[in-house]
Chain A
């Protein structure tokens, strides 16, 4: 019982760390916003494991969903929403996952 919880927590932590590093390294703003949502998603998994489903629900709804949407809409309003051509953007897209 406790064994797989540790593995899930480890996986969620690794995903969160990868997302946080991706936010720093990605050149594309839109991909960076998606990476912040990935960090929040991992955090909500960890909140579930810590038996705080209320906080997990908030984190998933607000952190992973709403704030990402609002940041993406703000990028669009500020004129920073640029989807690069496939040839140059392939590295960026792969890095965000």
Chain B
């Protein structure tokens, strides 16, 4: 009975989606906001990657909310799953291949993550994507060497500083630019590394926050527990 109800629900949802997509031309935007931003943002914000000028310029407050949501989710996940089961076995030692691969991959992941964060205003990607890659880089040694001490204190300090830096940059925009999170420092030459005002600084803060937060969450969930049986 229950499965029929859910089947009916899914069928209704599919019908609604088909009705909506049937009225839209494929690839044509239903709203004009995107076109307006496409036209005005290169002169207004100066970021070569227009997605970044939306994420950190026009909709920067949403990004702050997104960071808050991520923080809440990571905190809740750490609270729910941060304690080992009673009687769980410890991890067995990882093999030679895993350890060597982790040593080789760690600097590579670090460089890729930092590159994606720093070039967020020029190329696809940015703080969130690069931050996840940074988190993977810091989690990898824990997988390869189970039982290694993960320094949660240092990571929390960096996370807090990065989150505070985002808000401080926003408040500076309020003081000097007239609006919260208004871009400052001039636009510079479009396409160069030092351009688009404070957007790269904001993305570095986002990247550090996301990276340290997710690395801490994964280290919490992975701490001192192994598969039994």
A residues touching B (Cβ–Cβ < 8 Å)? Answer: 53-54, 56-58, 61-62, 65-66, 69-70, 73-74, 76-79, 81-83
State in angstroms the CA–CA spacing of A69 and B77 once bound together.
Answer: 13
How many A-B pairs fall under 8 Å by CB?
A: 57
Q: Closest CB of chain A to B86's CB: distance in Å?
A: 11
Residues of B within 8 A of A54 (CB): 49, 51, 124-126, 129
Residues of A within 8 A of B98 (CB): none
B residues touching A (Cβ–Cβ < 8 Å)? Answer: 49, 51, 77, 81, 84-85, 88, 116, 124-126, 128-129, 132-133, 135-136, 139, 214, 217-218, 221-222, 225-229
Q: Which interface residue of B77, B124, B228 has the most chain A CB atoms within 10 A?
A: B124
State in angstroms the CA–CA spacing of A53 and B52 once bound together.
Answer: 12
Residues of A within 8 A of B229 (CB): 82
| B125 & A66 in contact (Cβ 8 Å cutoff) | no
Q: Given contact pairs A54-B125, A57-B125, A61-B133, enumerate 15 new A-B contacts (beta carbons under 8 Å).
A: A54-B124, A54-B129, A62-B128, A66-B135, A69-B136, A70-B77, A73-B81, A73-B221, A73-B222, A76-B225, A76-B227, A77-B81, A77-B84, A77-B221, A79-B88
State in angstroms the CA–CA spacing of A56 and B218 once bound together.
Answer: 23
Given A53-B124, A54-B51, A54-B124, A70 and B129 contact (CB-CB distance below 8 Å)? no
- What are 8 A-B pairs with beta-carbon distances under 8 A? A54-B49, A62-B129, A66-B132, A69-B139, A70-B221, A73-B218, A79-B85, A79-B228
State in angstroms the CA–CA spacing of A70 and B82 once bound together.
Answer: 12
Give which listed residue, A53, A58, A73, contacts B128 with CB less than 8 A.
A58
Which 3 residue pairs across A and B have the least CB separation, nearest first? A53-B124, A61-B132, A73-B221
